[in-house]
Amino acid sequence: MSPSLDFPEGFFTKQERTDGGIVIYFLIILYMFMAMSIVCDEYFLPSLEIISEALGLSQDVAGATFMAAGSSAPELVTAFLGVFITKGDIGISTILGSAMYNLLGICAACGLLSNVVSTLSCWPLFRDCAAYAISVAAVLGIIFDNQVYWYEGTLLLLIYGLYVLVLCFNIKINQYIIKKFSPWCTCLAQAMEESSEQQPLMGWEDEGQPFIRRQSRTDSGIFHEESGYSQLPLSLQDLSQVSEDPPSVFNMPEADLKRIFWVLSLPITTLLFLTIPDCRRKFWKNYFVITFFMSALWISAFTYILVWMVTITGETLEIPDTVMGLTLLAAGTSLPDTIASVLIARKGKGDMAMSNIMGSNVFDMLCLGVPWFIKTAFMNASAPVEVNSRGLTYITIALNISIIFLFSAVHFNGWKLDRKLGAVCLLLYLGLTTLSVLYELGIIGNNKIRGCGG
């Protein structure tokens, strides 16, 4: 089935799009880029900041949990649509394209589009790479026979629960590994020492003042200046007293170019202002949970429109649907992760950006268990969910190469997220994507070419 059949019909016929109407679709795609950038920068990330401060989460834990789940909301919606509405298969192009882009494409964007060189910690990256490898093995093992039963969907949910449990005891596990491996590998111990300076979740210290803890270099602080190891009060009341309300979103900037963008974004800005409480303001600060979920909802809506427009554009240009799945659709569904990670990396929060990349992949893989479990356990317990496992061996090889390469590249780059690492990731991403496209088009395999409209 053509990917365009999963969406409503466009507002132009194919002939009208060929005659110039496709320009409107390109403009809508660009506008959705702008819309997602606004909702991520002004609502999603500020709500994540307050959640991290309230729970005492470190950068990497916040990036791998709340940030990954919120920015991956479109993938969860797509998984539900694929199981319950469109009955679509989990094809090689969808899994492979999205996974490779998330791993290498977003890392390349963070390195190339950031002016700040971020120092990365060994343990968070190792932890998330291992979790992603396990989740990939679990999903591919489950769909090996093209059928998914209720207990297999439950297994994926249990694996994700175990991953969250590891994050809850992140610091203790990190310190245990350092103690065990430091006698044999001093370089590993030195690399992991930096992340061990964090405090455990909800780890408050009593030094004469209640509810005061030391903030380490890897604590969350997206919108606040780094304060080294100074003591900071983290109660929401103290935060609301210190912070000042940002300028109104309806204040017109002075620069001419910014005025043009302000006028173009005014409809989106007004829509978001009326539907999402701005937790950066004192009045709405305690409504940060509503801000988080509403911003995730709008991210999903904007992503749906973006992927819809990209799909119709690919059909008009007669791009093969497998090429669409490996390139444009993979980048489109992962755009919220890309924008959020780049914004974080530009503020020097490398651990948070990398944990968001890996945590989003873990969430994307294991969240497939939610719709599978609901359908097989409650709606149709007698029949399994039918899926497609074509190209299973190629998926496994490509994803393993991506995981091993990313960890090795960061290690040999001196645990820095910079433009050199971004360029190397970009080259590998282009290489693996090219090989995948050639495989799907039958040039290096036995597949047949099929266009988006066919």
| pLDDT tens sequence across 95-123 | 666 778 888 899 999 999 988 888 888 88
Rounded Cα distance between 449 and 441, Å, is 5
C-alpha torsion angle, residues 71, 75, 81, 86 (rounded to 10): 140
Please give the structure tokens belonging to residue 206: 């009593």
| % the chain with pLDDT above 70 | 76
Q: For residues 315 and 83, is the Cβ–Cβ distance under 8 A?
A: no
Query: What average pLDDT score do residues 396-401 get?
Result: 81
Compare 104 and 394 and report the one with higher pLDDT. 104
Least confident among 75-79, 201-205, 398-402: 201-205
- The per-residue pLDDT for 3 is 60
Q: Give the Cα separation of 305 and 35 in Å (integer).
A: 11
| pLDDT on residue 291 | 93
Q: What is the DSSP string of 185-196?
A: -HHHHHHHHTGG
Q: Cβ distance 282 to 243 under 8 Å?
A: yes
How much is the pLDDT for 196? 44
According to the model, what pLDDT value does residue 422 have?
94
Q: What confidence tens digit (pLDDT) does each residue in 311-366 have?
A: 888 888 887 766 776 777 777 778 888 888 998 898 888 888 998 888 888 888 88
> What are the CA-CA distances from residue 361 to residues 216, 233, 242, 257, 336 (Å)?
27, 33, 36, 36, 13
Q: How far is CA 191 from CA 29, 217, 356, 430, in A?
A: 42, 15, 20, 30
What six digits make up the tokens of 114? 């950031």
Tell which wins on pLDDT, 183 or 69: 69
> What confidence tier does 6 reach under pLDDT thresholds 50, 70, 90?
low
The structure tokens 């969240």 sit at: 367
What mean pLDDT comes out for the span 368-384?
81
pLDDT at 241: 45
Quick one: pLDDT at residue 230? 31
Window from 195-199, 213-217, 296-300 with minimum mean pLDDT: 213-217
Residue 110, pLDDT score:
93
Does position 245 have pLDDT exceeding 70, yes or no?
A: yes
pLDDT over 90, % of the chain: 14
| AA letter at 416 | K
d(CA 385, CA 86): 13
What does the chain come to in residues? 454
pLDDT level of residue 436 (50, 70, 90 thresholds): confident
Sequence-separated (6 or more) residues with CB below 8 Å from residue 99:
136, 361, 364, 365, 399, 402
Please check whether residue 217 is in contact with residue 226, taking contact to mean a CB–CB distance below 8 angstroms.
Answer: yes
CA triplet 445, 446, 450: central angle to 5 degrees?
105
The torsion angles phi and psi of 147, rounded to 5 degrees, stand at -140, 145
Q: Which of 141-145, 173-177, 206-210 has the lowest mean pLDDT?
A: 206-210
Round the average pLDDT of the chain to a whole number and report it: 77
CA distances from 210 to 204, 219, 233 (A): 8, 19, 9
For the chain, the straight-line distance linking the first and the last C-alpha, in angstroms and rounded, comes to 8
Structure-token pair, residue 54? 């309230």
- Give the tokens for residue 355: 């944990």
Position 432 pLDDT exceeds 60: yes
| Closest C-alpha to 221, from 234, 238, 202 | 234
pLDDT over threshold 60, residue 90: no
Q: What is the pLDDT of residues 256-301, one digit of tens each?
A: 788 888 899 999 999 999 999 999 888 888 899 999 999 989 988 8
Rounded to an integer, the average pLDDT of 409-428 is: 92
> 91: which 2 tokens?
């094809």
pLDDT of 1 reads 55
CA distance 425 to 112: 10
| pLDDT above 70 (res 238) | no
- Distance from C-alpha of 28 to C-alpha of 253, rounded to nearest angstrom: 24
Q: Pick the most confident of 124-128, 140-144, 168-172.
A: 124-128
CB atoms within 10 A of CB 333: 26
Q: Is residue 449 pLDDT above 80, yes or no?
A: no
Contacts of 259 (CB under 8 A, 6+ apart): 252, 253
